[in-house]
Amino acid sequence: MTWCLTRPTACARAKRPQSGTLCQMAARDSNQNFRDSVALSRLVDPRPTLENLARNTGLAYEDVVHHALVRYASSGAEALLAWEPYALREVIAARKVEDWAKVGAIIDWLEAGLESSEWH
């Protein structure tokens, strides 16, 4: 737990309103950004795009889905080799706002690809 000084309405644990209230706040969850991203991705249905791609290329839908998942799973290792601009932009943006947990999470993601025995 972390302690924070908040406005009276911002802390549910405050017993009496004051100009500032000291309250406990849960430590930042290093996986929350990923969970939020997953939740947002549920708003988009990729099936029509993948079905069209399969139909237009003469491939089975399952093969196209498998390929998309392999590309996603290997993108961390690929970023180590090519440093894909999106990953670089994410690191820069996180550094600018001093979101060191996110910077660390991106580095961990890259490191996981480096340490994987499956992509060598």
Q: What percent of the chain has pLDDT over 90?
A: 27
- What confidence score (pLDDT) does residue 10 get? 44
- What confidence score (pLDDT) does residue 11 get? 45
- What confidence score (pLDDT) does residue 4 get? 44
- Is pTM beyond 0.75? Reply is no
73 versus 58: the higher-pLDDT residue is 58
Q: How far apart are CA 120 and CA 81, in angstroms?
A: 12
Indicate the average pLDDT of the chain: 74
**Predicted confidence (pLDDT) at residue 80 exceeds the cutoff of 60:** no
**Predicted confidence (pLDDT) at residue 16 exceeds the cutoff of 70:** no
Matching residue, tokens 């994987």: 116
- What confidence score (pLDDT) does residue 109 get? 78
Q: How far apart are CA 41 and CA 43, in angstroms?
A: 5
- Looking at 6-10, 87-91, 115-119, which range is the least confident one? 6-10
- What confidence score (pLDDT) does residue 89 get? 84
- What confidence score (pLDDT) does residue 15 get? 47
**Predicted confidence (pLDDT) at residue 62 exceeds the cutoff of 90:** yes
Q: How far apart are CA 49 and CA 56, in angstroms?
A: 10
Both tokens assigned to 107: 């580095």
